Structure 1
Amino acid sequence: MSAVRKTITSVLTAAVLTGGLALGTAGPASAAGCGTSASPVIDGASASWSIRCSDSRMTIAGWVQDTRADAKCALIRIHAGDNPPARPEACGSGVRKNFSYTFKAKNVDARLAIA
């Protein structure tokens, strides 16, 4: 195999591996409104939450679980309007943490990740 072909193959392989690693560390974001729910699963983490509303407030409540013994934590990045972000996390394989946050907002953006 020529040096040029080896270089191109190496670059393409690195790009594919990097893309796969990036995709494997975060679940899909969900900008959600009242009455919605999600149960994302990624390699090393799982979660479930629902969103309910009362007056002008939104509450996101559920759980996050670490599913792999890898010295990383499962977490959910939660953003709602101008409120400070919330970040419930579970650390240690099999550990599950319940959470509940209430915001004054019109929608909530939540993303499952590992870190």
Structure 2
Amino acid sequence: MKALAHVAAATGATLVVGLLAAAPASAAPTRPAARCPANLHASTTGGKAEWTVRCSSGRVQVRGWVRDTMPDGRCARIKAFLGHSGRRDAKACSYNTTTRFNWSGPGTEARVYLYVA
């Protein structure tokens, strides 16, 4: 597993992307995607998350949790895109709060992002 971190200068938000791919080590990833099956985890200043990606009968399922790890008034957030079914969101606000999520959609790939805002 590889994790990419991006800092959005305009918003001050930190974005951590869970990435699992079968590309060569020298290839630059163009889309952060996890294919079935996968167990992923990510952390950034103020947030932490873990999730699994599973597939069955042409559907992808993403199940996990997100936790706010800093008393800073911001929220740890997850956004996910499952196949072509649109965006899903979860957030944990308030220090040490954990929110669970369980989403499914058509396909065999999920793009899942952890960020704090």
Query: How high is the TM-score relative to the length of structure 2?
Result: 0.76
After superposition, the Cα gap between the structure-2 partners of 1:69 and 1:32, relative to the gap in structure 1 and judged at 3 Å, is same
Whether the 8 Å contact between 1:24 and 1:42 is mirrored in structure 2 is no
Matched positions, count:
97
**C-alpha distance in structure 1 between counterparts of 2:8 and 2:59, whole Å:** 36
Question: Are 1:89 and 2:78 counterparts?
Answer: no
Whether the 8 Å contact between 2:7 and 2:15 is mirrored in structure 1 is no
Residue identity matched to 2:54: R
Report the structure, 1 or 2, having the larger helix content. Answer: 1
Cα distance, 1:84 vs. partner? 1.8
Identity, in percent, stands at 28
Cα distance, 1:39 vs. partner? 0.9
RMSD: 1.9
After superposition, the Cα gap between the structure-2 partners of 1:108 and 1:56, relative to the gap in structure 1 and judged at 3 Å, is same
Question: In the TM superposition, what are the counterparts of 1:23-102 in structure 2 within 5 Å?
Answer: 25-30=14-19, 31-102=33-104
Residue identity matched to 1:40: A
Question: In the TM superposition, what are the counterparts of 1:14-25 in structure 2 within 5 Å?
Answer: 22=9, 25=14
Report the structure, 1 or 2, having the larger strand content. Answer: 2
**C-alpha distance in structure 2 between counterparts of 1:110 and 1:88, whole Å:** 11
User: In the TM superposition, what whole-angstrom CA distance separates every residue of 1:33-54 from its partner, at most 9, and x where no partner exists?
Assistant: 1111111010000000001111
> Once superposed, which parts of structure 1, at least 4 consecutive aligned residues long, lie more than 2 Å away?
19-24
Alignment gaps of 5+ in structure 1 = 1-18
**C-alpha distance in structure 2 between counterparts of 1:43 and 1:24, whole Å:** 10
Alignment gaps of 5+ in structure 2 = 1-5, 20-32
